[in-house]
Structure 1
Amino acid sequence: MIELVGFDGDDTLWRSQEYFEIASSAFEAIVGNYVDLADLRLHERLLAIEQANMARFGYGAKGMTLSMIEAAVQVTSERISARDIHRIVSLGKDVLDHPVELLPGIRQAVEAVAQSHRIVLITKGDLFHQEHKVAHSKLADLFHRIEIVSEKDNRAYARVLGEFNIEPGRFAMVGNSLRSDIAPVVALGGWGVYMPYHVTWAHETGAAIDDADRMVEVADATGIPGAVRTLEERARLQAG
């Protein structure tokens, strides 16, 4: 019943969020030379600025870097030095240059699912950075198609499924974000394999799933093939 399985990229196939967290901590240390971080709640202010800028800059390290610069200028009342602005830019470059490290067991899981299903990679973020990650993951040849989108919402998934000529009920998405990977697919009538990551970006939290029976949660990559089989059985039972 499930013909196509989608995989998220960041923090599903390879590590990502840790590098952003490292950059965020280093950014706070830089700004902490100018202001009292405890009083400013800088982390919350940075998140708010990132959220406001998302429609302009999109997701990824470049948007984060521009938001960090804007936040630094604001909270220091424009006192931050050119040297420290350059240090913030370097933090963004470090995120862009981080190695692509696959999560344990993910190659075997993707290969197992690919033996019985068409698979597609659906990831969001900066185009160049995501292309770099895909190329260096050495997983690209396993996928029938690679989609790098600006947002992962109902509209984006519906477009991909339409281009594959597949009904939502025959599609399952594997990912670490309830908001981006699971909730939109379930809302369309599809299925989800949720593999939580130990650290999650604040903007990816707080989603509700319309129908919990259309989702299976797994602890790690080894559970993905079995979860897909479980969802197929549920799809068969639902179809009667």
Structure 2
Amino acid sequence: MDGVDVYDLEYPTYEGVRLAKVEPLLRDAGKVINDIQDLKLGPEAVILATFPRSGTHWVYEITHMLLTGNANYNTVSREATFLEGLPDLGPLQFYNHIVSTHLQFKWLPKQHVERGGKIIYVIRNPKDVAVSFFEVLRNTLKELKRLAEFLEVKIADPLLKEIAEKCQFDNLKTADKSVRNDEALSKIMRAVSLNEHPTIYRKGEIGDWKNYFTVAMSEAFDKANADNMDDIGLEFEFE
């Protein structure tokens, strides 16, 4: 896809669902999803499933620290294990750490789902997601403890506090530029002819949508959300 500007391309779709503009999906979305479904992860693997711009990198880093039992940043970027962004899933066969995806549940690795492997699903106020596209932070310690219990790891309170500090937005933003030593994101960007990395860390604020939505826009969004999402059993606080 040399010489192709990703912004000029249509979003790839599969079964009527719009997907990310990454090279493998742009080439053959069906094959990518079939390969992901057939992927055999290790028994200790954790799938981080999110909608884009919903705190994926934040939760990825927190989960890494909880699983490794220390507050050191991961030197491998989240993109290195981004399932639909990789041209070859071979290195992830029997992988035993965190992999991430923006795909729907029905397209996740079948073996992992069938054996009850751990899946972390991150949701965020969709109004903040919309604003984040255009250009989850409350009770951090409580949520860290809950996540540690789900992962079945025992973490002492002092370390939980250190992890919370290391994973504050500004600290993560700085670490993303100074700690990573792999080229996974660079390869993905070069594949779609982007010279600069996209902005992964924007503001990290709750409720920033209020600075962009008019009252009419907010009401229209609420109606669309009610019409399409009322039956999923999840509630959002539109602060």
Q: Fold conserved (TM > 0.5)? A: no
TM-score for both structures, normalised by structure 1: 0.29
Larger C-alpha radius of gyration, 1 or 2? Answer: 1
More strand by share: 1
More helix by share: 1
TM-score for both structures, normalised by structure 2: 0.29
